Amino acid sequence: MMSTLLRYCSIYAALWRNSLMREMIFRANFLLWIVVDVLWFGLQLCFISVLYLHTESIGTWTKWQVVLLIAASNFIQQIFHGIFLLNLTNLSDLVRTGKLDFLLVQPVNPRFIVSLRQIDLGAFVNALIALVVMIYAGIQLGIRPGLTDVVLFLVLCAIGILIHYSLMLLLASVSFWTVKAQGIVWGYYNLFNIARMPDEAFRGLFKALFTLAIPMLLVSNVPARVLTDKLASPALVWLLVAMGAGCVACSEIGWRASLKRYTSASS
């Protein structure tokens, strides 16, 4: 098992090197997308600043708590973007053009190579910026999280990223039936905007939908609650863990069923 793990780590390191070489060939595009994402992030923070000119809080969330929530949400989104997004949005083209054949004959797990073959390095720069904003918001709130809180935050972020990956892989796998599924995949990605708002801003069916069925609010709010000391009970943490395990299991079942349907480009 250790030799297999080392082999996959070396393959992933090679994928990182290839991605870095590709980004350096198109440096202007690399820098431009970083600037665009930073401006979009800044606009979100400006919107919150304007919103809090007219209110003291959203539910029990104060201005700097919401800033920390937005930064945490952007941190999760950017890490997901950097590792998985390009690969999942390209799955439809791989199926349509038959290029998936080439990946399936490689001596590696098909899900591994399909999910991780390209890395968007610019997204990690934006994730670092989001982390800096989180630290600044924490200073404004007078928060001094302990090592346990930081580790729990990072673990919950990782679980949230796995949830997004699993659900988007399921949606991308629709391409094995319909050929084109980019619209569905990007539609899910656009729902990330909901995750930037406190869960207390929503009520009823809408809140239940985006907490349990499509856990956008759960993925972003639970890690932020850990840092802001707003986690009243561990129930939300366990719910997020359970959702993560369920989503990963469902995505594996869906992926295997989708591969069985694939007939390659030559048949």
Q: Are 126 and 74 in contact (CB under 8 A)?
A: yes
**Residue 222 located in a structural domain:** yes
**Residue 252 located in a structural domain:** yes
Q: What is the mean pLDDT of the chain?
A: 88
**Residue 117 located in a structural domain:** yes
**Residue 93 located in a structural domain:** yes
pLDDT tens-digit readout, 61-92: 889 999 999 999 999 999 999 999 989 998 88
**Residue 56 located in a structural domain:** yes
Q: How far apart are CA 245 and CA 228, in angstroms?
A: 25
pLDDT at 165 over 90: yes
Q: Are 61 and 224 in contact (CB under 8 A)?
A: no
pLDDT band of 159, cuts 50, 70, 90: very high
**Residue 114 located in a structural domain:** yes
Domain total for the chain? 1
Average pLDDT over residues 21-49: 85
**Residue 267 located in a structural domain:** no
Average pLDDT over residues 226-239: 87
For residue 33, the Cα-to-chain-centroid distance in whole angstroms is 17
Name the residue range of residue 230's domain: 2-261
**Residue 106 located in a structural domain:** yes
pTM over 0.75: yes
Bridge partners of residue 61, in order along the sequence: 58
